[in-house]
Structure formats: C-alpha cells, structure tokens
Amino acid sequence: MSQDPDTRLPQRLARLARARLELPRGGQLTDGNRIRLLSTGLEYFPELLRSIESARRSIHLETYLYEDDPIGREVTQALLRAADRGAQVRLIVDGFGGGEHARKMARELPPQGVQIRIYRTERWWRLQRRLFRRLHRKIAVIDEIRAFVGGINIIAEPANEPGPRLDFAVECEGPIVSPIALSADRLWWTLSLPSLTEAVAPFPRRLGLRTQQPVRGDVRAALLLRDNLLHRRTIERAYLEALASARRDVLIASAYFIPGRRLRAALLDAARRGVRVRLLLQGRLEHVLQFYAQHALYGQLVSAGVEVYLYTRSFLHAKAAVIDDDWATVGSSNLDPYSLLLAREANVLVLDTALTSALRARLEQGIAESIQFGPEDLLRRSRLTRVFDWIAYGIMRVATQIVAQDRNY
C-alpha cells in the first residue's frame, strides 16, 4: 500500500535536513581514492556509458545541457536499459540548458522507469533574479561506488571542427564518492519536495548512512561545491589558498574568465612573486559580452607578467587548473561571476603528483595549439574596440551585482 503524501513530507524533510548537516562545507579531503583524468568527450562518454551499462542498483545523473543528438540518445537508451534491469535511475537537467528536450524527456521517460527532475523551469520572460541561478554542475554517480565530476555536458562533439571541445572530467572511486552521492541526494530531494502527490522512492539504502567505500588507491581528494546556501565560496577559497601558496607554476584553463577582485589580486601577486602564471582561455567568439569583457582584463594581467593564451583549434570548455607539482582541480566552475556567484557548481580537488602531471601535460598541449596574447596584441586593438571591451565588462559586472547582490564583483 502506498503512503499518504502528507505522511511522506516529514520523512522527506528529515532526509533533506540530514543531508545538509552531513555534507562538508569546505571540501573535506579524503584519503585512499582512485582518480582518473578523462580528456574530452572522446574519453569521457565511453567510460560513462560503460559504467551505466554495468549499474545494478542506482544511477544518478546531473547535467546542464542534454542534447537530442547521437550522444544524448545513446545516454538515454543506456539509462532506459538500466531501468529495465531494475536499477533506480534519476536524472536532473537544468531547465534553461535542457530546454524543450528536457521537458520532452520529463514527459516520456518516467513511464519507462527513469525518474527525472527539471531544475527551475522558468521561462526567460519571467524576470526573476533566481532565474539566473542555474544548475551548471555535471555529476554522475553509479551504484554509489563510482562517480564522475567534470565540465562535460551530454552533447556530441561538433562535427565541423578539427578536434573535440577541450574539456575534462574525473572518474572517482573511494571515499570521495560518498560526499558526491550525498550532494546528489540533497539536490534530488530538494527538487522532489514540491511534488507532494508523487511517490518519490529513495535509493536502495538509507539517505545519509553510507557504508565506507573500499580503498581504491592512494590519492587525496575533496569535493568542492558552490551553491547559494552552505557553499557560497568554497571553490573560490580553494583557488585563493592554492594561489597564495604557489611557489613555481600556475596553469589555469577557464572557458569563461572574468575573475573578481580577490582572484585577480591573487593571480597578480603570484606573478609578482616570480611564480609563472599561465592562463589558457577561450579564443573563439562564442558569447559576445563574455568574450569582449574578458579582453578588458588582459592588459592588467599581461603587464604584471601573466601569460595569456587563446585557444582557437576548437572550442575551449575546460574548467581546470594545476598549481606546482601536486595540486589540481577539475570540474564545472569557470572563473567568472556566473560560476562563482550564481550557479550550482561541482569541482574535484586532487592532491596527487601523477594526476597533476597528466593534467598539466594536456593543458600544455592546449597551450601549444593556442595563440599567445601579448602587449603588442593589446596595442593592435583599436581604441573603439577597447572601449567596447570595457563597456561589455561594465555591463556584466553591473548585471551580476544586481542578480547576486554581491559587492566583490
């Protein structure tokens, strides 16, 4: 016999409260993990699909974009096959990023066994500040023993480009899977609470009471979240602390790069201390305001000795960094106001020389395929273009202040 909806509500609230209390605020490091770097969708999707096909108990998938293209359809079919095997399958798609396809899946997938939630389905014409607070993180949790975190959406690689999008994800096993799964549960129950008339089954275990994951390796790692409740500045603080302690080398890849004053000051200070600071940024025009706004910052950075490289071989979508020999992060968070002040984001922080070396090698390859932006490039930009750079920067800054009501940007 199914429970009455009114009796389910207190249980849901209790589960949600436990999840919020047990999820570390600042990114707690755990030992004994195995972390594997996956570069571009060409490496990521085969591993994701293989894990979905092997799932026996549960699958949780979150994404910003979920396209109706060959990759999207392949992932959907894999989820449906998992549901047919008896696995509990949950899917969360951002309402703006997923668009009409997400709403179509919300109608078609539940009868076939895939539970789905749309994160904020408001339309663009409803001018509310919270409309801009989107689900931007990309997470997959398989049987609560394996997780994927990164910047790669459910979208096929562009067909007419010389290479895939430059982007990364990490495959995680070990104790770090528990906070990843817990964050997924918390968001799922948050989105499920308004649906009082719908039976929302828990995953096949008690929420918040997980068994310890078996030790898989020797990597120290932490989950870094950004939201508007308990983790407002976790990702930003991790960058600031690492930059302050950097001794030799900083290499950051960010598809959208308009850091606030704290991060800019930390980058400039590192460069002035003699640390080599390199930025691998988007060199192609994708979003007009974003593209020109970040150009407004290049003069200050280059003048302080920061090396700026613009990636043009294909689209840069990476959100990753390495600092010195044993600090690395991969995830969904860019260094811009949208990621650092508005969106829900998830990064993995790794303290490990092997993974840091592997990520550095891939970023170095990206730099080799890029064009360096130097002082002469700044001089070649016309006065009108530079004025437009600062107008674009001002528009983005003011807009973000209005939406986020934060004085640091």
CB-based contact 263:236 (threshold 8 Å): yes
Instruction: Find the catalytic residue in 60, 231, 295, 317.
Output: 317
Instruction: Find the catalytic residue in 60, 94, 101, 136.
Output: 136
Longest dimension (CA), the chain: 74
Burial class (CB in 10 A: 0-12, 13-18, 19+), 126: exposed
Please give the Cα distance from 159 to 407 (Å, whole number): 42
Instruction: Find the catalytic residue in 60, 94, 143, 231.
Output: 143
Provide the 3-class DSSP secondary structure of residue 224: strand
**Is 138 an active-site residue?**
yes
**Is 324 an active-site residue?**
yes
Q: What residues does 91 pair with on adjacent strands?
A: 61, 116
Which helix or strand (DSSP H or E) is residue 216 part of? none
Q: Which amino acid is at 182?
A: L
**Is 101 an active-site residue?**
no
Instruction: Find the catalytic residue in 31, 249, 324, 377.
Output: 324
Instruction: Find the catalytic residue in 319, 336, 352, 389.
Output: 319
Instruction: Find the catalytic residue in 60, 101, 138, 295.
Output: 138
Please give the Cα distance from 81 to 84 (Å, whole number): 5
**Is 104 an active-site residue?**
no
Which helix or strand (DSSP H or E) is residue 266 part of? helix 261-272
Count of CB atoms situated within 10 Å of the CB of 15: 21
* 384 contacts: CB under 8 Å, gap ≥ 6: none
In angstroms, how far is CA 220 from the centroid of its own chain? 20
Burial class (CB in 10 A: 0-12, 13-18, 19+), 354: middle
CB-based contact 161:314 (threshold 8 Å): yes
Residue positions annotated with a catalytic role? 136, 138, 143, 317, 319, 324
